[in-house]
Amino acid sequence: MSNQAPNQARVIPLRPHEPAPHLPEPTVPAPKEPLWRDLVGDVLRRERLAQERTLKDVADAARISMPYLSEVERGRKEASSEVLAAAAHALGLDLGDLLSLTRNEFTQHRNRRQGRVSSPYNGLCLVAA
């Protein structure tokens, strides 16, 4: 007769829980590099929100459908250079500004991934006299 309670199951392990010695230890994969479309979308969204504008407002100004601009901002669509230029112009930027901001975003992401401390320096320096 068993000392176990009648409603309690008895578990018999089939294999020991210890990892096999011949298998390498699991490693944590390095974070992936962000996709360009994700970074461009982040910049577009950040600029739009900084201007307190709606998706509809910017989409209408850029002559892009609102759902498409939303997907570009979320990194779901790989927008053409014409669409990116139109969205940038609707936000008061030119395509070069958008690309530069996106490059800065990529640099910051890379520095965070490599454990570097990055400063928000963007080339502008103010001196008090």
Top pLDDT among 128 and 84 is at 84
Residue 61 covered by a domain: yes
Where in the sequence is the domain holding 91, given as residue range(s)?
A: 36-112
Non-local CB neighbours of 113 within 8 Å, separated by 6+ positions: 30, 31, 33
In terms of pLDDT, which residue wins out, 3 or 72?
72
Contacts of 107 (CB under 8 A, 6+ apart): 118
30 located within any domain: no
Number of H helices, E strands in the chain: 5, 0
Q: What is the CATH number of the domain that holds 104?
A: 1.10.260.40
Classify residue 22: in a domain, yes or no: no
Q: Is the pTM of this model over 0.85?
A: no
Q: Which pLDDT band, with edges at 50, 70 and 90, does 123 fall under?
A: low
Mean pLDDT over all residues of the chain? 84
Rounded Cα–Cα distance for residues 27 and 10 (Å): 34
pLDDT tops 60 at residue 34: yes
Q: How many domains does the chain have?
A: 1
Which of these, 89, 111, 107, 2, lies nearest to 44 by C-alpha position?
A: 89
47-51, 90-94, 108-112, 116-120: segment of lowest average pLDDT: 116-120
